[in-house]
Structure 1
Amino acid sequence: MKVYFNLLVLLIVLGACERQGADRQSPPPQGEAAPEAMHSEANRTFEQLCQRFINDLWNLFPSWAISEGYYDVAEKLQVPDKGYRQHLMEFAQSYQYKFAALDKNQLSINSRSNLALIENFLRRLQWQYTDFMAYQWDPSLYNVSDAFALILNTNYAPLSQRLHTFSARMGQVPEYYQAAKAAISRPAAPQLELAIQQSRGSLEVFGEELEKTVKASQMPADAKKLFLQRLHDSRSAIQGYIDFLQNLQKKLTKSGNFHDFRIGEKLYEEKFQFDINIGMSAAKLYQRAIIEKQLTHDKMTRLADQLWPKYFPSNSPPRESLEKIRKLLNKLSQHHASKETFKKKVEQQIPELAAFVSEKNLLTLDKEKPLVVRTTPAYMQGFAVASINAPGPYHKNADTYYNVMPIETYSDQRAESLLREYNDYILQILNIHEAIPGHYTQLVYANQSPSILKAILGNTAMIEGWAVYAERMMLDAGYGNFSPELWLMYYKWNLRTITNTILDYEVQVKGIDQAQAMKLMVEDAFQQQAEAEGKWRRATLSQVQLTSYFAGFSDILALREELKKAMGNNFNLKGFHEMFLSYGSAPIPMIRQLMLADLAKQDNKFQ
């Protein structure tokens, strides 16, 4: 999972999401590659308005700016009070009016696609505060740690300068948490629990190591004194927020008056349209997933029939197909890393994946872009086993972090359950998804897109869909030598993608409980207990995001098949991949329009 979930959250997080970033510089121009766009008065007007929009955006969302690598606003920490929320609404309404005044018919197709992204963003931003209002019931949205960690750990400037920026920003932390406490009204229980957990993790960012760094630095004595005072005040503010949340948790547990974490059909469909943007309703995608689940069971049954004599030569297979599949999966799941070697195995597989992609000529990889496997920072834990933190477009060469949960710290029972889930077969597919040619590769390409808007206003279905597509594409290309064992495990993994959509819709709209959700995941999707428990928690913490995997994968696969049919002998897989990724993280229907337009200019050939 790419930590692109944070980009969805940032529209309501009021300054607490993360992607990696770096250079201090003005936002780059919004010019597109198409020559006609650069010579049109309408397009020039649009580009100028886009530039003003982005400048204002970063001043309103300085933490988001930092996550994209834009540090000119890094000293600012917006306080999430009522006045700020009103300012956000005025910003959205003002720019909605300005962009609506443009004549779309005079714009190039590239500019129209950027305009569609902006309009969706502005409508969504207003919806967040008038309808969804998670700022009242999701206290996990209030967390300052991510941007502070980036300032401290990213070498975008000398350490002394970064410490000065860190200090200035800390001056607003107490006010930030006072405003957070004032905004929260009857939170939902899962979000409250996560907020407490991650806020405790936040204290590490402001811990003893930072204090030692400041004392050992060349900062003037008065600046050190001010920094240490602000550090003390920030710790107190975070601890005060934790105490506030814990007291609220006790009170609401006693009364049972938590906000419902289920958002219901109306809000779910609205959020789905804003976030997924694939031209169908959430209900229709849910029905498609139900059908796909049965088709996947059928494929697994055929593989199980093939493999049964190899692994159980003396036993007759069970009559019930799901039980037969389960027994084979359990047998294969015994092959896994230890909890001490899990992270090392992840690291070892990355170069193997890169070599395969190059050997099969599937995609051009940039070997100069760093990928660092690390333990998930404490303030980010509690959501997913693995994730990616990618650099923003303002500093494309900064490290990309592959976050791996600290399984070595888990109890033996919990670790064994997770390790059986992420066994030697599944781990390879996980690394394809998260790293190469999945999230890591896609985000390197996104940062090269001539449209920065398609990088910063990215679509989650495209991002997660590409990672899921990459899994299937690699196996189709012969990764794993067409091993039936790997394919059986792939279908189990892909079944998780399908089940994510079913689970999310049934939890948020149909209101199933934990027991029903566990049955769906453990019995129908063959998931280990620990994985299913973690996914249940995630389904209570987020909405719609879990549908992005299946939605995006289905659309990308359909687009590839459409172009193969239309282009005939002119189609080649590498050309498709590189052209598809060149448009940044735009919604897939938008990429389809852009690809068709560009292919028409290129005589229906990839270049």
Structure 2
Amino acid sequence: MQIRFLAAFILGASTLATQNADPGQKSNAEFAKLSEQFVHETLALSPASASQAGYHKHVDPKTGKTIALDSQLDDVSPDGIANQRSVYAKWRERFHNETPVASLGAEDAADWHLIDDQIGQSLLEFDHIQNYRHNPTEYVELIGASLFQPLTDDYATEDIRLSDVVSRVQATPRFLDQAKSELLDADPIFIKVAIEENEGNVDLIQETIAAAVSKHPELKQRFDQAAPPAIKALKDFSQWMQNDLAKRKTDRTWRLGKEWYAEKFRLVMETDITPEQVFNEAQSAFDKTRAEMLELAMPLHKQYYPDHDDHATLGQKERENKIISEVLQKIADDHPKRDDLMQTAKDDLVGIRQFIIDKKIVSLKSRDNLKVIATPEFERGIYSVGGFHSAPPLDPNAEAEFWITPIDPKTPEASAESRLREYNNWVLKWLCIHEALPGHYVQAEHANEIQPETRRLVRGLYGNGAYVEGWAEYIAQVMMQQGFANSDPRYRLSYLKVWLRAIGNSILDIRMQTMGMTDDQAMHFMMDEAFQTRAEADGKLQRAKLSSTQLPTYFVGTTEWWRLRKAYEAAKGKDFNLTDFNDRALDEGALPVPWLKDVLLPTR
């Protein structure tokens, strides 16, 4: 009810502004009205996405009927998919014709471009990439997210939210039947991950949801009727993927290829930079970072290995590899026990928060809604180490989650040790900075206070990935510059290893998706040139196949953040203030960083 009231208020305010505005302001008011309608209409097409955004009730403009979105699952039938495509195409035409970008001010123009690029991504998906026909993980993860979100978002009383979950459990067999009708074929990696994640969906219903509804007798009866057919449908879907979908011949693979990759890259990055340019810049930055690592590693190498020489007889790259690897091996000895990952992260966050306050890095909001939890099982295919899940843009007081992926009890000791050494006590500090404080969590907290609400929703839903990932790495570098961890060389070297990995992400993604890089070549690159353990490299190899164009956002975004920072410092001169810059940049939300410069440093 509250969300509908706020939406109605925005529409009313826009109408009033239109009546009393000059032509330029009128265009802005019309754009605000259109963008709100677009967001609500497209969210209503995907109830699972609506729940993620905090949009819970939708009034159908044709019938006037109020739809409780949290109790529904998406329609992924052929008619449902066709309708979605039609809606996006219609809205692109409306925005171009009714509120052309040239008629808008800088803030609204930025939102216009975000929406237009989002529509472009959607149409590229519908018309060419078509994951809905070739990638079953899309369906498996949608089910998991739709069942999980109402459990953690206090948009209503517990009994209402659980009733919504049970309704979605009831709809699961229908949804999976539709998924089967759409899926034509799939690369083996998509099937492998979908089957693994689908086990998490079964567990979510059998364990988590079952335990929650057991406290509500009136819901338990509905759940007991809905759960068995849903679980059967999920298990049947896994068997169908293994016994039918996996055996279908296909020319499609997980590789996008140069043409589709370039177009998706343009729409994701939202800059003029090309994959080829990023690849060349990343190669140069990769070599430079390795040289910095060698400089830091040399004194540590003498300390750790007093009986070793400096390997001067080796070639340059071999010498770098030997010295840096030996030092990193020693640093990696300092790692948590396999059952202590989450508690170690919680402890690290306490010290990180105080450092941010003491050094005045960035303003922290008064909300204390961050929870450190285990990564949901249905997300562990892509989040093999951890991740961040923000509070919905329309419900900023809801729970925000820093996910830590636990080590499965079935994982062999050698594999578990490999992962723990990769995410040792020094690298784990970086992970907490990147995913939580002052990284993704702080960025999301600032973004969730943007006004008007329509702008907050646009920038929250369609925010630029390079801005988001770039902020998390840029601010980690700021923390290091400010002396985090007492400027300990072990932390600094560990961070440079992480940054080398971020640079390598761009090289890896572009080579794998467009240049035919093999699995063996990828593993050699990650392990022998980027100093990653086998466990980390295995996870990244899978991720590169599942998430084309996402991996370069770290390097591209960080580079753009530093360009903006230097331009802002030059403009402010002696009046530059670190907290002020970081706050102002975050308070605009996830705009492409080059556009952000136009907002923070207008030329007129």
The TM-score normalised by the length of structure 1 is 0.90
Query: Is 1:440 aligned to residue 441 of structure 2?
Result: yes
CA distance in structure 1 between the aligned counterparts of 2:441 and 2:209, rounded to whole angstroms: 29
Shift of 1:169: 3.1
CA contact (8 A) 2:348 2:429 kept: yes
Query: Is 1:141 aligned to residue 148 of structure 2?
Result: no
CA distance in structure 1 between the aligned counterparts of 2:94 and 2:555, rounded to whole angstroms: 35
Q: Indicate the residue corresponding to 2:299 in structure 1.
A: 306
CA distance in structure 1 between the aligned counterparts of 2:535 and 2:242, rounded to whole angstroms: 26
Query: Residues 534-557 of structure 1, C-alpha deviation per residue, up to 9 Å, x if partnerless?
Result: 111111112010001001000001
CA distance in structure 1 between the aligned counterparts of 2:30 and 2:555, rounded to whole angstroms: 38
Query: Residues 153-178 of structure 1, C-alpha deviation per residue, up to 9 Å, x if partnerless?
Result: 43221222223322333343222111
**1:275-354 maps to which residues of 2 (within 5 A)?**
275-319=268-312, 320-354=319-353
Query: Is 1:231 aligned to residue 227 of structure 2?
Result: yes
**Residue type of the partner of 1:206?**
I
Shift of 1:243: 1.5
CA distance in structure 2 between the aligned counterparts of 1:292 and 1:27, rounded to whole angstroms: 47
Are residues 129 and 249 of structure 1, via their aligned partners in 2, closer, same or farther at CA, if it must alter by over 3 Å?
closer
CA distance in structure 1 between the aligned counterparts of 2:290 and 2:588, rounded to whole angstroms: 35
CA distance in structure 2 between the aligned counterparts of 1:209 and 1:470, rounded to whole angstroms: 36
CA distance in structure 2 between the aligned counterparts of 1:432 and 1:290, rounded to whole angstroms: 26
Query: Is 1:68 aligned to residue 53 of structure 2?
Result: yes
Q: Name the SS of the counterpart of 2:387 in structure 1.
A: strand
Q: Indicate the residue corresponding to 1:4 in structure 2.
A: none
Query: Residues 100-158 of structure 1, C-alpha deviation per residue, up to 9 Å, x if partnerless?
Result: 11243332211111111111111221111111111111110002121212223432212
**1:151-300 maps to which residues of 2 (within 5 A)?**
151-219=150-218, 225-248=221-244, 251=247, 257=250, 259-300=252-293
1:578 aligns with one of 580, 583, 604: 583
Shift of 1:307: 2.3
Q: Indicate the residue corresponding to 1:493 in structure 2.
A: 498
CA distance in structure 2 between the aligned counterparts of 1:23 and 1:348, rounded to whole angstroms: 37
CA distance in structure 2 between the aligned counterparts of 1:340 and 1:160, rounded to whole angstroms: 33
Shift of 1:441: 0.8
Shift of 1:316: 0.8
The TM-score normalised by the length of structure 2 is 0.90
**Residue type of the partner of 2:373?**
R
Are residues 565 and 245 of structure 1, via their aligned partners in 2, closer, same or farther at CA, if it must alter by over 3 Å?
same
1:105 aligns with one of 98, 102, 106: 102
Are residues 422 and 82 of structure 1, via their aligned partners in 2, closer, same or farther at CA, if it must alter by over 3 Å?
same
**Residue type of the partner of 1:328?**
V
Shift of 1:23: 6.9
Query: Is 1:43 aligned to residue 43 of structure 2?
Result: no
CA contact (8 A) 2:400 2:441 kept: yes
Are residues 36 and 475 of structure 1, via their aligned partners in 2, closer, same or farther at CA, if it must alter by over 3 Å?
farther
Query: Residues 277-299 of structure 1, C-alpha deviation per residue, up to 9 Å, x if partnerless?
Result: 13200111011000101111111
Are residues 23 and 380 of structure 1, via their aligned partners in 2, closer, same or farther at CA, if it must alter by over 3 Å?
farther
Are residues 137 and 250 of structure 1, via their aligned partners in 2, closer, same or farther at CA, if it must alter by over 3 Å?
closer
CA distance in structure 2 between the aligned counterparts of 1:443 and 1:37, rounded to whole angstroms: 34
Query: Residues 503-549 of structure 1, C-alpha deviation per residue, up to 9 Å, x if partnerless?
Result: 11111111111111111011110111111111111111120100010
CA distance in structure 2 between the aligned counterparts of 1:330 and 1:370, rounded to whole angstroms: 37
CA distance in structure 2 between the aligned counterparts of 1:114 and 1:430, rounded to whole angstroms: 30
Are residues 129 and 469 of structure 1, via their aligned partners in 2, closer, same or farther at CA, if it must alter by over 3 Å?
same
Q: Name the SS of the counterpart of 1:74 in structure 2.
A: helix
Shift of 1:439: 0.8
Are residues 214 and 315 of structure 1, via their aligned partners in 2, closer, same or farther at CA, if it must alter by over 3 Å?
closer
**Residue type of the partner of 1:157?**
A
Greater relative contact order (Cα < 8 A, sep 6+): 1
2:83 aligns with one of 80, 87, 109: 87
CA distance in structure 2 between the aligned counterparts of 1:36 and 1:520, rounded to whole angstroms: 58
CA distance in structure 1 between the aligned counterparts of 2:87 and 2:263, rounded to whole angstroms: 21
Are residues 313 and 215 of structure 1, via their aligned partners in 2, closer, same or farther at CA, if it must alter by over 3 Å?
closer
Percentage of pairs with the same residue: 26
Q: Name the SS of the counterpart of 1:501 in structure 2.
A: helix
Query: Residues 260-306 of structure 1, C-alpha deviation per residue, up to 9 Å, x if partnerless?
Result: 11111111111101111132001110110001011111111211223
Are residues 277 and 209 of structure 1, via their aligned partners in 2, closer, same or farther at CA, if it must alter by over 3 Å?
closer
Query: Is 1:516 aligned to residue 516 of structure 2?
Result: no
CA distance in structure 1 between the aligned counterparts of 2:251 and 2:573, rounded to whole angstroms: 57
CA distance in structure 2 between the aligned counterparts of 1:373 and 1:296, rounded to whole angstroms: 32
Q: Name the SS of the counterpart of 1:142 in structure 2.
A: helix
CA contact (8 A) 2:152 2:399 kept: no
CA distance in structure 2 between the aligned counterparts of 1:331 and 1:38, rounded to whole angstroms: 69
Q: Name the SS of the counterpart of 1:407 in structure 2.
A: coil
Q: Name the SS of the counterpart of 1:387 in structure 2.
A: strand
RMSD: 2.2
Shift of 1:37: 13
**1:383-462 maps to which residues of 2 (within 5 A)?**
383=382, 384-407=384-407, 409=409, 410-450=411-451, 451-452=455-456, 453-462=458-467
CA contact (8 A) 1:23 1:394 kept: no
Q: Indicate the residue corresponding to 1:605 in structure 2.
A: none
**Residue type of the partner of 1:397?**
N
Are residues 268 and 358 of structure 1, via their aligned partners in 2, closer, same or farther at CA, if it must alter by over 3 Å?
same
Are residues 399 and 374 of structure 1, via their aligned partners in 2, closer, same or farther at CA, if it must alter by over 3 Å?
same
CA distance in structure 1 between the aligned counterparts of 2:390 and 2:101, rounded to whole angstroms: 33
Q: Indicate the residue corresponding to 2:601 in structure 1.
A: 596
CA contact (8 A) 1:23 1:69 kept: no
CA contact (8 A) 1:262 1:507 kept: yes
Query: Residues 200-220 of structure 1, C-alpha deviation per residue, up to 9 Å, x if partnerless?
Result: 11012211553454354152x
CA contact (8 A) 1:337 1:419 kept: yes
Which residues of structure 2 form unaligned runs of 5+?
Answer: 58-68, 313-318
Shift of 1:497: 0.3
**Quick check: 413-422 or 378-387, which moved more?**
378-387
Are residues 213 and 103 of structure 1, via their aligned partners in 2, closer, same or farther at CA, if it must alter by over 3 Å?
closer
**Quick check: 74-83 or 578-587, which moved more?**
74-83
Are residues 38 and 63 of structure 1, via their aligned partners in 2, closer, same or farther at CA, if it must alter by over 3 Å?
farther
Q: Name the SS of the counterpart of 1:207 in structure 2.
A: helix
2:41 aligns with one of 41, 56, 59: 56
Query: Is 1:484 aligned to residue 482 of structure 2?
Result: no
CA distance in structure 1 between the aligned counterparts of 2:18 and 2:78, rounded to whole angstroms: 44
**Residue type of the partner of 1:541?**
L
2:536 aligns with one of 525, 531, 534: 531
Are residues 227 and 592 of structure 1, via their aligned partners in 2, closer, same or farther at CA, if it must alter by over 3 Å?
same
CA distance in structure 1 between the aligned counterparts of 2:343 and 2:213, rounded to whole angstroms: 32
CA distance in structure 1 between the aligned counterparts of 2:275 and 2:6, rounded to whole angstroms: 36
CA distance in structure 2 between the aligned counterparts of 1:26 and 1:122, rounded to whole angstroms: 27
CA distance in structure 1 between the aligned counterparts of 2:333 and 2:173, rounded to whole angstroms: 50
Query: Is 1:127 aligned to residue 124 of structure 2?
Result: yes
Q: Indicate the residue corresponding to 1:10 in structure 2.
A: none
CA distance in structure 1 between the aligned counterparts of 2:461 and 2:209, rounded to whole angstroms: 30
CA distance in structure 2 between the aligned counterparts of 1:180 and 1:469, rounded to whole angstroms: 40
